[in-house]
Amino acid sequence: MEFSGGTTPPLAVVELKPIEATPETFEEFGQVIEASPDGDEFGPRDAQLDLSKGIPRFYIMHLEDRPLKFSTITHHASVTQCLGSIGGHVWYLGVAKQSILDPNEIKGNRDVDVVQSNCGHFYVPPAVGDVRVFKIVGPKFLKLNRGTWHAGPLFKADEMDFYNLELSNTNVVDHTTHNFKKKNGVVFLLDE
């Protein structure tokens, strides 16, 4: 949007206070997976994965310069994703609940802004007020529910390594991004 004189309005900065990621606080976005004794049988405390739509890819992701701010958020409609820092270092993740729509939900529903992703599925863009930031401390990882919007990993260090479990082609064929700066005039800043 342009105003007289060709200038654009200043961005609104939304400060978010990080919430400690626990199984209870993170429940609507996915799971927090913590250490369990060797020999424990599979159960609800283990990552409930959906890797059925492709070839799983488990790799170490090297990231640099990820300061505590963001203006874009992404989701993957076809897979759960697991992220964790190598060494249990502190990191942060911005999230919003999944908003993928079944095609049957779209018919006659004019109350929401429905978008079709380049990947083919339909979704409702995340609202600014629905974004949360979690702080992940220690030897644990996050399993994101299929379709959970996420921004990060973010961290204070210059660089960090993360293990990442997704599908081999997730970032090519299943990568939908919402740009809060362009669509909402907002950038998020962590209050940490």
Q: How many angstroms separate the CA atoms of 166 and 148, rounded?
A: 13
Task: Say what the alpha-carbon torsion angle 85, 87, 91, 97 is, to the nearest 10 degrees.
Answer: 40
How does DSSP classify residue 105? H
| Residue in the block written with tokens 């740009």 | 179
Residue 129 inside a domain? The answer is: yes
Structural domains counted in the chain: 1
* Residue 1 forms part of a structural domain: no
Q: What is the pLDDT of residues 119-165, one digit of tens each?
A: 999 999 999 999 999 999 999 999 999 999 999 999 999 999 999 99
Q: State which residues form the domain around 131.
A: 9-34+47-156+173-190
CATH assignment at residue 29: 2.60.120
Q: What is the rounded CA–CA span in Å between residue 12 and residue 188?
A: 9
Report pLDDT digits (tens) over 24-82.
999 999 999 999 999 999 999 999 999 999 999 999 999 999 999 999 999 999 999 99
CA atoms within 13 A on the CB side of 158: 0
In-domain check, residue 131: yes
Q: Is residue 146 part of a domain?
A: yes
First-residue to last-residue Cα distance in the chain: 32
Q: Is residue 58 part of a domain?
A: yes
In angstroms, the CA 182 to CA 35 distance is 40
pTM for this model (two decimals): 0.92
pLDDT higher than threshold 60 for residue 2: no
Q: Residue 149: inside a domain, yes or no? A: yes
- Over residues 183-187, mean pLDDT: 97
Q: Determine the pLDDT at residue 56.
A: 97
Residue 150 covered by a domain = yes
Question: How far apart are alpha carbons 107 and 109 in whole angstroms?
Answer: 6
- Domain for residue 111, yes or no? yes
